[in-house]
Amino acid sequence: MSKTSLKKSIRTIVLLYHTFLLVSIELVYFAYFLILRKLIRGRNIKVKDRNKIILVVETQNELNAKKGRGS
């Protein structure tokens, strides 16, 4: 193998590795986003101090008890 073809093959391998790495990182972030969306859906979000967002986790029974319906 000549030097130029060796350099080209190394560049190709590095490029493929970086592409694989980026795709896997994007998939992980996408899965994380989906999980967060499922966790946040159906819960009360209260904003306090304008800087902090506090997620208040309440089950449906607690919400019903607050409204006076019972469980």
Q: What is residue 46's predicted lDDT score, i.e. its pLDDT?
A: 55
At 5, the amino acid letter reads S
What pTM did the predictor assign? 0.42
Q: What is residue 55's predicted lDDT score, i.e. its pLDDT?
A: 47
SS3 44: strand
Q: What is residue 65's predicted lDDT score, i.e. its pLDDT?
A: 72
Report pLDDT digits (tens) over 19-65: 999 999 988 888 888 877 777 665 655 555 444 444 455 555 566 67
With tokens 């967002």, the residue in question is 53
With tokens 């208040």, the residue in question is 56
Q: 10 Å Cβ neighbour count for 34? A: 10
In the chain, % helix, strand, coil (3-state, to 5) comes to 65, 15, 20
Q: What is residue 4's predicted lDDT score, i.e. its pLDDT?
A: 86
